[in-house]
C-alpha cells in the first residue's frame, strides 16, 4: 500500500464538490479510495490497511472515499452490475 498524504485543505476542496455536503474539518489522513460495492472481505482489508497506515504514520484520521456511480459506468452505462445502491453504501 502506498500512503499519500492529503492536507485538510485539499480534502475540503474535494468534499465540497460532492452532493453539497459540508466538508468536515480534517487534518492529514490516510485514505481508502474505491467503489466499495458490497464491502466484501477485500474491501474490509483495504479499509483496515488505511487505518493501520494512519496509526503507523501518526495521522489523526483515516477516511473512506467512495463514488456514487461506479467509475466504469461513465464509459458503459450497462456495466458493471452493482451489488448495492448508493443509499445502501451510505
- In a domain, residue 3? The reply is no
Question: How many Å apart are CA 82 and CA 66, to the nearest integer?
Answer: 14
Q: Which domain holds residue 37?
A: 8-89
How many domains is the chain partitioned into structurally?
Answer: 1
Per-residue model confidence as pLDDT tens for the chain (90 residues): 444 555 666 666 665 555 445 555 666 788 888 777 777 888 888 889 989 999 999 988 888 877 767 666 666 666 666 677 767 765
- In a domain, residue 55? The reply is yes
- In a domain, residue 78? The reply is yes
- In a domain, residue 2? The reply is no
- In a domain, residue 1? The reply is no
pTM for the full predicted model = 0.54
- In a domain, residue 51? The reply is yes
At 11 the pLDDT is: 61
Amino acid at each position: 500500500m502506498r500512503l499519500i498524504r492529503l492536507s485538510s485543505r485539499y480534502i475540503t476542496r474535494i468534499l465540497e464538490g460532492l452532493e453539497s455536503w459540508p466538508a468536515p474539518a480534517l487534518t492529514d489522513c490516510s485514505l481508502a479510495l474505491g467503489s466499495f460495492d458490497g464491502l466484501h472481505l477485500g474491501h474490509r482489508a483495504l479499509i483496515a490497511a488505511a487505518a493501520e497506515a494512519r496509526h503507523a504514520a501518526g495521522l489523526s484520521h483515516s477516511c473512506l472515499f467512495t463514488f456514487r456511480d461506479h467509475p466504469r459506468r461513465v464509459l458503459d452505462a450497462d456495466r458493471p452490475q452493482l451489488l448495492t445502491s448508493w443509499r445502501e453504501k451510505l
